[in-house]
Homo-oligomer: A and B are copies of this chain.
Amino acid sequence: MKLSAKGRYGLAAMTQLAMNYHAGGPVTIIKISERLGISKIYLEQVFSLLKRAKLVRSIKGSQGGYQLAREPERITAYDILAAIELALSETTAPAFDKLPALDEALAKTIYEPLDTAIRESLSSTTLAELTAAAERENREEVMMFYI
C-alpha cells in the first residue's frame, strides 16, 4: 500500500512533535520542515488537517508553534492517517445497481474485512512506539559509523 506524500509527512511531522513532548514548548512548522527537508508551505496544509482532527494544538503569534494534543502513547498511526488520507478511512461504496446481491457479498467478504485489518494494523502502533523505533534506528546508525 503506497501512502501519499501527505500521509508520510503527517507521520514524520508527528514524530518531531512527540520528541518535543516532554520539553513542553511548541515547535514551529519551519523547524519541522527544515528537519524533514520538505516544503514549509506544503507542511502547513498537512497541519491544518491534523488540527481539524484535534491531534495537535496550535499557538499563534510570535514564539508560537504546534504541540501534540495528548500523549504520544494515546495517538495511533491510524489516528494520523485517517485525518490525512481520506481514501484509507473511506469505505468502498456499492457499484452495481443491477446486482445488489453482488455489492452485498463484496462488502461482507472483502471490503469490510479489509477495512478491519487496516484499522487494526494501524491502530496497534502508537506515536510513542514509532518515535522510540526512530530513536533506536538512529543510535544504531551512529554505532555503525564507529565500527
Contacts and interface: CB of A to CB of B under 8 A. Distances in A.
Interface string A46-71: 00000000000000000000000000
Interface residues of A, number: 57
Contacts of A111: 1, 3
B106 A11 contact: yes
A130 B101 contact: no
A136 B92 CA distance: 21
A2 B106 contact: no
Nearest to A122: B114
Candidate in A37, A95, A140 with the most chain B CB atoms within 10 angstroms: A95
A43 interface: no
Contacts of A125: 109-110, 113
Given A96-B37, A121-B113, A91 B2 contact: yes
A98 B37 contact: yes
B141 A110 contact: no
A130 B118 contact: no
10 contacts: A1-B118, A8-B92, A8-B95, A8-B106, A11-B106, A11-B110, A15-B105, A35-B99, A104-B134, A106-B130
